[in-house]
Amino acid sequence: MDDLREFITSLAREAGLFLKRRLNDKHIIAYKGEINIVTDADRMSEEMITSKIYNKYPSHDILAEESMGTNKGSDFRWIIDPLDGTTNYAHGYPVFCVSIALEKEGEVCLGAVYNPMLDEMFVAEKGQGAFLNDKRIYVSSVVDLSRSLLATGFPYDIRNDENNNINYFNGMAKSVQAIRRAGSAALDMAYVAAGRFDGFWELKLMPWDTAAGWLLIIEAGGMVSDLCGNPFYLQSPHVMASNGHIHDDMITVFKEINRGDRA
């Protein structure tokens, strides 16, 4: 696993530094939905990552945000978000990251999230802990939900679907110290692992948004589930993560919101 760990961090760093250099360039922007965009930088970053994987591990499968991916039947699958925080990036707002995870036989075993603006490399290996720039990290020790700092985001169909997280945001905002909405789910999850956030939730994320962050949080001693507390899978429609101490209280708040919505 040492070779794979070195490879995944080198991929994330190379792609991240490429994105950093191009941050203030004029970008070609295409729309995948009403407000869901992709830039030329997303595609170039993904091509950079996938081409190196194909060259080094030609038999491995790939699941990436901006391409079809492969399904060769390999025991190994790379899960790639070449630019998490595209809207931020397109506006020159320097909050974004590269997220890469590796599955072995359907289980995430390696994950890396790289923030090039701060040169922060978050990496986790199953059973071996989570690290930030080679220093071991742990989730926070906050036990009181009312003193917690959470992070969240809103789905791209916020204008068209009532299941858009606004109700959860409004309800949770009254129960915690503060909520941040920075625009990069993978970075939010890495920050939970590092103890900067005490918890996180979001709706309608994709596997490339959550795979690396999920492993980081677990290896840092935290918890990841769906909003009801059920086990989380990459195909789960919603994700909730925390330091573990406030997890049940977060679930209670969501249940109360759901009961109020049905009343």
DSSP-assigned states of every residue in 128-190: TEEEETTEE--------GGG-EEEE---TTTTT-S-SSHHHHHHHHTTSSEEE--S-HHHHHH
245 by DSSP, 3-state: which? coil
Largest pairwise CA distance in the chain: 56
Residue 190 is part of a domain; what is its CATH number?
3.40.190.80
For residue 179, what pLDDT is reported? 98
User: Is the pLDDT assigned to residue 32 strictly greater than 70?
Assistant: yes
- Residues 231-256 have a mean pLDDT of 96
In this structure, the answer to whether residues 53 and 154 fall within a common structural domain is no
The mean-pLDDT minimum among 11-20, 44-53, 77-86, 149-158 falls in 149-158
| 263 confidence band (pLDDT: 50, 70, 90) | low
Domain boundary among 136, 154, 188: 136
Q: What percentage of the chain exceeds 90 in pLDDT?
A: 83
For residue 221, what pLDDT is reported? 98
In this structure, the answer to whether residues 151 and 28 fall within a common structural domain is no
Spatial contact of 173 and 30, defined as CB atoms under 8 Å apart: no
- Residues 42-67 have a mean pLDDT of 94
Tokens of 237: 């429609």
Amino acid sitting at position 175: S
Tokens of 193: 């692992």
For residue 1, what pLDDT is reported? 78
Across the chain, what does the average pLDDT equal? Answer: 94
DSSP designation for 231: B
For residue 71, what pLDDT is reported? 86
What is the CA 106 to chain-centroid distance, rounded? 18
- Residues 173-184 have a mean pLDDT of 97
Residue 106 is part of a domain; what is its CATH number?
3.30.540.10
- Residues 244-260 have a mean pLDDT of 94
In this structure, the answer to whether residues 32 and 153 fall within a common structural domain is no
| pTM metric for this prediction | 0.95
Of residues 68 and 27, which shows the higher confidence score? 27
What is the CA 73 to chain-centroid distance, rounded? 25
In this structure, the answer to whether residues 121 and 172 fall within a common structural domain is no
* Domain count within the chain: 2
Range of the domain at 7: 2-136
In this structure, the answer to whether residues 171 and 116 fall within a common structural domain is no
User: Is the pLDDT assigned to residue 162 strictly greater than 90?
Assistant: no
For residue 262, what pLDDT is reported? 66
